[in-house]
C-alpha cells in the first residue's frame, strides 16, 4: 500500500521549529499556536487538494475487499459456533415431534417427519388377487395411485364395540399419507389430533398390558392427557409393510 502511505512533500515546520518541535519559530510570538499560522493552514489545504497517487483507488478497493472478506469469514465462524451451540442445546434438551391419532380405542403416535398429508376418506380400489387384511387396495390422490393399508389389522387391534370418548365434539375420519425413503402408504384413522412435542426423556418403556402384536411395533409410550400414548417404531413399521405387502 505504498501509494496510500506516501504523502506529498510539505513544509512541516510545525514539527521542526513549531509547537511540536523546538519552538524556535519567530512567528510563535505572533500566532501563539501553529494552527493559527497561515503556513500551517496552507500546508493542510495543499494536502487535501493534491492529486491522487497512481493506483490509489485500486489499492483502497483491495484494502476494503480484504476487510470485507475477513468480516464475512468472522461472521461465518460466529454462525458456525452458534449452530454448534444450538445443536448441543438441542441434544441436552431434545424433543420428539409426533402426530397423534386414534385407531379403534388405541391412541398412537408416529414421528411427524413421516407424515406427508391428510385427506378426506377416499374410495379404495381393490387389487385382484392381492387385496388382503393388510393391503386394502389403491387410493387415487390427485391423480396418483397410492397403496392403502389397514394399520389396525397390521397391529392386530381389536374392534371397539364402544367408541372411546373423543377429544373433540366433532370427530371426522381421515386418511393419512406417510412416506419414508420413497415408500408411501395410506391408511385411515378414526380420529386425528395433530402434532405434539414431547421431551425425549419422557418416553417410557412399553407397558406389559399392551397386546403382543402392537407391542412389537411400539418403541415406548408417553403419558398424554391422562392416556397412555403408544409411540410406534416407524423403521419397523415400514420394513414390515414392505415385506408383507410389496412383492
- Using one digit for the tens of pLDDT, what is the confidence trace for 179-238? 999 999 999 999 998 899 999 999 998 766 555 556 789 999 999 988 889 999 999 999
Q: Is the pLDDT reported for residue 6 higher than 60?
A: no
Residues 154-161, mean pLDDT to the nearest whole number: 80
Q: What are the tens digits of pLDDT across the range 59-90?
A: 767 776 766 666 555 565 565 455 445 544 44
Residues 130-145, mean pLDDT to the nearest whole number: 90
pTM: 0.59
Distance CA 57, CA 72 (A): 22
Domain spanning 95-159+168-244, CATH architecture: Beta Barrel (2.40)
Q: What is the pLDDT of residue 148?
A: 96
Nearest CA-CA partner of 106 in 175, 186, 189:
189
Q: What are the tens digits of pLDDT across the range 15-52?
A: 888 878 888 888 866 667 787 788 887 887 777 777 76
What is the helix (H) or strand (E) element at residue 241, kind and residue range? helix 234-244
Strand order in the sheet with 106-111: 191-199, 95-103, 106-111, 227-232, 218-224
Amino acid at each position: 500500500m505504498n501509494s496510500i502511505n506516501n504523502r506529498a512533500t510539505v513544509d512541516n515546520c510545525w514539527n521542526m521549529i513549531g509547537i511540536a518541535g523546538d519552538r524556535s519559530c519567530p512567528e510563535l510570538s505572533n500566532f501563539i499556536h501553529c494552527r493559527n499560522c497561515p503556513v500551517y493552514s496552507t500546508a493542510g489545504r495543499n494536502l487535501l487538494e493534491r492529486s491522487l497517487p497512481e493506483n490509489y483507488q485500486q489499492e483502497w478497493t483491495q484494502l476494503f475487499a480484504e476487510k470485507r472478506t475477513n468480516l464475512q469469514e468472522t461472521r461465518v465462524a460466529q454462525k458456525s459456533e452458534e449452530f454448534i451451540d444450538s445443536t448441543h442445546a438441542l441434544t441436552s434438551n431434545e424433543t420428539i415431534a409426533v402426530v397423534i391419532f386414534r385407531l379403534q380405542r388405541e391412541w398412537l403416535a408416529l414421528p411427524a417427519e413421516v407424515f406427508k398429508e391428510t385427506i378426506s376418506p377416499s374410495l379404495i380400489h381393490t387389487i385382484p388377487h392381492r387385496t388382503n387384511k393388510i393391503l386394502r387396495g389403491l387410493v387415487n390422490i390427485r391423480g396418483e395411485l397410492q397403496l392403502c393399508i389397514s394399520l389396525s389389522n397390521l397391529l392386530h387391534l381389536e374392534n371397539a364395540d364402544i367408541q372411546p370418548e373423543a377429544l373433540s365434539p366433532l370427530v371426522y375420519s381421515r386418511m393419512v399419507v406417510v412416506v419414508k425413503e420413497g415408500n408411501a402408504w395410506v391408511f385411515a384413522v378414526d380420529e386425528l389430533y395433530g402434532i405434539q412435542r414431547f421431551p425425549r426423556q419422557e418416553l417410557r418403556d412399553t407397558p406389559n398390558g399392551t397386546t403382543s402384536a402392537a407391542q412389537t411395533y411400539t418403541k415406548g409410550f408417553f403419558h398424554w392427557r391422562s392416556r397412555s400414548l403408544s409411540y410406534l417404531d416407524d423403521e419397523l413399521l415400514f420394513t414390515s409393510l414392505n415385506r408383507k405387502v410389496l412383492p
